[in-house]
Amino acid sequence: MSWVLIAEQALNGLQFGLMLFLLAAGLTLVFGIMDMINLAHGSLYMLGAFIAASLVQATGSFVLGVLLAVPATALAGMVLETLLLRHLYQRDHLSQVLATFALILILNEAVRLIWGSDAPLPMPASLSGPVELLPGLFYPAYRLLIILVGLAVAIFLYLLISRTKVGMLVRAGASNREMALAMGVNIRLLFTLVFGVGAALCAVAGALLAPLLAVQVGMGENILILAFVVIVIGGIGSVRGALVGALVVGAVDTIGRAFLPIAFGAFLPPQVASAAGPAIASVAVYLLMAVVLFFRPQGLFPARG
C-alpha cells in the first residue's frame, strides 16, 4: 500500500463528501427551517442531472449546459414549493412523508415520459485525462474540478448564510419562525428562496456527478438516504454540521470501500474479502450514524438549544 494510493483515495473521499454536502445543505435547511421532511429532494437531484444532460447536448458545451441547468432546476424547485410543498409545512411529519413519497413516484414517471429511462452526459474531453498533482501522484482532472467547484460552493454558502442579510433572515427563521414573522420577515418568500437554493445545489451535484455515475431514473433514491445520514450526523438545520457530516461520511465510505477488502484479505480468503469489504464499508456509514446518535442524540452540531 503506497502513499499514492492513500492520497488518491483521500481525494476521492473529499470529492464524494463535497457532493454529498451539496445535497445535504439544501436538505438540512428545508428540514431545519421549515421542519419539513422532503423525501423528494433526491428527485430534484435527478431532475437537475436530466436537465443538464439535455442542455449540454443542446448547447454543445458542458460548462454552458451545466450553468443553465442550475437556474432551471432552481426554478422547477420553486414552482414545486409554491404549488405543493408550501401546503405541507403545517402538517405532521407523516403527511409530509406520504406527500413527498408520492412526489418521488410522480417525478420519476414524469422524467421517464419526457427523457426516457436514462440520458447520456459525457465527460468533457478536455478534462478526461489525469493531472500530476505531486511527482508520481496522478489524479483525474475531472474529479479535481468537482473538488474545486464543491469547495467554491461550500465557501459561497458559508458567506451567504453567515455574512449577508438573506443569510441572517434564514438563521432567524431557523431559530424561531413565529418571532421572525412578527418582526416583519416575509417568511413565505424566504422559504421559497431557500427551496430554490436547495434545488440549485441539487442540480450542481447531479450535473457534476453525472459523467462519473449515470443519469437514470431512480438515481436520487439511494443518495437521498446518504444525504439524510449526513444531516442527522451533523445535526438537523446546521449547514456547518452538514459540511462536517458530509466529509466524514464521504471519507468513511470511500476509504472503507478501498481499504477494507485489502485489510480483510490479510486474514480471509480473497473471495470472501472482496465480497465482504464493500458491504462492511456500506454498513460502516450507518454504524457511524448509530454511534453518533447513541452518544449525541441531537447530532454533532445541534442548530437549536
Q: According to the binding rule CB under 8 A, does residue 102 interact with another protein? A: yes
Q: What is the DSSP pairing of strand 215-216 with strand 118-119?
A: antiparallel
Say how far apart CA 138 and CA 173 lie, in whole Å: 45
Helix/strand/coil for 140: strand
Residue 38 as a binder of another protein (CB under 8 A): the answer is no
Among 55, 72, 88, 161, binds another protein (CB under 8 A): 88
Integer Rg of the chain from CA: 20
Q: How many residues bind another protein (CB under 8 A)?
A: 48
Tell me: does residue 264 bind another protein (CB under 8 A).
no
Instruction: Give the integer Cα–Cα distance in Å for 57 and 64.
Output: 10
| Given 33, 229, 247, 260, the residue binding another protein (CB under 8 A) | 229
Binding flag, residue 262, another protein (CB under 8 A): no
Mark out the alpha helices in 140-269 (DSSP H runs).
Answer: 141-163, 165-175, 177-182, 187-209, 219-234, 239-265
The residue assigned the cell 449540454 is: 56
Tell me: does residue 83 bind another protein (CB under 8 A).
Answer: no
Q: Which of 58, 106, 213, 262 binds another protein (CB under 8 A)?
A: 106
* One residue of 13, 15, 21, 31 binding another protein per CB under 8 A: 31
Stretch that binds another protein, among 132-140, 147-155, 173-181, 270-278 (CB under 8 A): 270-278
Q: Can you read off the three cell numbers belonging to residue 70?
A: 442550475
Asked whether position 268 contacts another protein by CB under 8 A, the answer is: no
The C-alpha atoms of residue 203 and residue 26 are separated, in whole angstroms, by: 11
Give 124-132's long-range contacts (Cβ < 8 A, gap of 24+): 124/62, 124/63
Under 8 Å between Cβ of 130 and 4: no
Binding status of residue 163 toward another protein by CB under 8 A: no
293 binds another protein (CB under 8 A): yes
Q: Which residues bind another protein (CB under 8 A)?
A: 31, 37, 39, 84, 87-88, 91, 93-95, 97-99, 101-106, 108-110, 112-113, 221, 225, 228-229, 232, 236, 271-272, 275-276, 278-280, 282-283, 286-287, 289-290, 293-294, 297-299
